[in-house]
Structure 1
């Protein structure tokens, strides 16, 4: 997952390339239970607005010495309690071993129920055409070569702006302290100012793998009458500023200096359910400021 993060984001979490399948959320799941010949994964929790785009099974095959062929025809089967094995995917795998990827989206619903167990079995064929189970690197033996179920999703919903609070802030809310800040003198002119968020200082480094922090920036300054184009005012802010200046109502305040353009940030973090998540969070970086 860190390799994928480094392909799509720089060291500050800013986008540098496209994500596979156009996904905004990528989840990597390890085996939950190790049985003799079945790979079992627990489907992690996800937003109800997410659409599953693709699912991949990543498996590491050991080298097969003295193999009768340079390749093996490997099949992936879904295993359930109430039916026989169902074919999912197949491909030719080099006998030299290494990582291979199989597509298993066909056996998952577009919005899979959290907690659902997925069982998969791998086989190849003998020269006589008989199926036989395969040996792959497993949980508990090769930590860096365990089978992985990788889920690629797109968040289409209205809850995207709640995501940071629900997925990251709440993990630290119970232990976060509060400190008083002095009242800040607001300078004239609405401008973007430097603000670096160090995840170690807000307690997020316990579960956030990358980035270590990022430039969030913030907006500061007075939106005084008359508003200029340099302050990037909205039409509503221009009229509000005029109404406030003329005293049309004592309840009308000056427009506020706020972000007018925001961009996204990639964050990769651990969850408590044996899952690593790579997610693109929208509206995390203030690119421009204006009077609104």
Structure 2
């Protein structure tokens, strides 16, 4: 069952050149064991999803930060399908957790961003810090100044740093604060030697630096209030549009959703009566559910647990109905085949003519949470080409 599922999935996702390579390779390795076939299939899937090294030994009790869950729910439906294109800046969002304990009166942050590849184009970086309300302080002051520095080294005392940003905050309130650190972090990508972390200080109007760490780690050890560095980037996976494929934006009147037994949303394209009343063998869309647990990825993929990729199956024999989305070229080809004008001319192919993207939320091998968007992963409709 696992080998069959993965094989179907690969046939849907791989480009024609890769399929030809596998076909030719298969002719010379007919004696390959089932385990070798599955291993090669998993490797191909890993390349499609651009995971790099697969995560191992994820802490069972590890929970993703709430803001990443909220971002995923804004971008994707329960089945991972993109419901709000354009929200993400780029196609990858990474959240790096701070694991450095701060000293009294000073907040230090270090984030290991080595998983960001040099070829990625970083679009934005945010430092997310939870500011706590100071305990036991008199209400003499109502505001404090927060200064964020880039540390220039990790060994010297006193600390040396470049001021990135400053902000006045109500002293006796608490909540999440976001600081734009894009320019600084862009210099760290691909060069770990320049990344020494951040220093955050809290200063009263009197000029005195607070001797209490308001950023949380020495006051509170709640995992939900740890500080994070969030990176938005584009890793260059977006493909060139197919010139034969119509735009992917579909009007609301063209789409309806229904819940399946597994809780995922299945999208159905409404077609004309002539298109719905076609012969069972005619080109049409059919289900192809991909279960990440069957593939062995359930331990580190947070959401979704699987998705319906769908696939196109059926014939494109003349005369083709209007609902099959046949191109003029496909129509002519089907006529030439029907009239047997050329012996080597086959019927047109039943292929997706509109594709949608999906989103995955998962842990990487450093237990950082990553949100990735993948283009052209769900067949929305099929046609003859």
1:51 to 110, 117, 121: 121
Indicate conservation of the 8 Å contact 1:160/1:282, yes or no: no
- For the residues of structure 2 that align with 1:218 and 1:114, how far apart are their CA atoms? 43
Closer/same/farther in 2, CA of residues 150 and 223 from structure 1, 3 Å limit: same
Q: Quickly say closer, same or farther: Cα 1:249–1:207, change in 2 above 3 A.
A: farther
* Aligned partner of residue 298 in structure 2, secondary structure: helix
Once the two structures are TM-superposed, the CA of residue 11 in structure 1 deviates from its matched residue by 1.3
Q: 2:160 aligned with 1:84, yes or no?
A: yes
Deviation string 1:186-216 (CA, Å, 9 cap, x unpaired) is 9421111233333223322211111222232
Post-superposition offset of 1:156: 4.5
CA distance in 1, matches of 2:196, 2:378: 38
Counterpart position of 1:236: 329
Does 2:213 match 1:137?
no
Q: Normalized against structure 2, the TM-score is what?
A: 0.62
Contact 1:187 1:222 in 2 (8 A): no
* Residue in structure 2 matched with residue 16 of structure 1 by the alignment: 83
Q: Which residue does 2:252 correspond to in 1?
A: none
SS across alignment from 1:42: coil
Report the CA distance between 1:159 and its aligned residue. Answer: 6.5
Distance 1:141 1:160 in 2: 47
Q: Which moved more, 1:255-264 or 1:235-244?
A: 235-244
> Over aligned residue pairs, what C-alpha RMSD do you find?
3.0
Q: Which runs of 5+ in 1 are unaligned?
A: 162-185
CA distance in 2, matches of 1:14, 1:257: 23
Q: Which residue does the alignment assign to 1:258?
A: 351
Is the contact made by 2:165 and 2:179 (CA closer than 8 Å) also made in structure 1? Answer: yes
Alignment of 1:198-277 (within 5 A): 198-277=291-370
The change in CA–CA distance for 1:158 and 1:101 in structure 2 (over 3 A counts) is: closer
Provide the rounded CA distance (Å) in 2 between the counterparts of 1:132 and 1:213: 49
Quote the Cα distance in structure 1 between the aligned partners of 2:321 and 2:116.
Answer: 45
1:60/1:136 contact within 8 Å kept: yes
Is the 1:187–1:220 Cα contact (8 Å) retained in structure 2?
no
Tell me how many residue pairs correspond in the alignment: 268
In structure 1, distance between residues paired with 2:76 and 2:82:
4
**Gapped regions of structure 2 (runs ≥ 5):** 1-67, 242-278
Are 1:30 and 1:275, in contact at CA under 8 Å, matched by a contact in 2?
yes
Deviation at 1:234, TM superposition (A): 2.4
SS state at 1:205 partner: coil
Moved more, 76-85 or 111-120: 111-120
State the secondary structure of the residue aligned to 2:71.
Answer: helix
Deviations 1:244-283 (A, max 9, x none): 3344555433222111100111111110023211111111
1:286, CA displacement in angstroms? 0.8
| Secondary structure at the counterpart of residue 73 of structure 1 | strand
Q: Which shifted more, 248-257 or 201-210?
A: 248-257
- Partner in structure 1 of residue 269 of structure 2: none
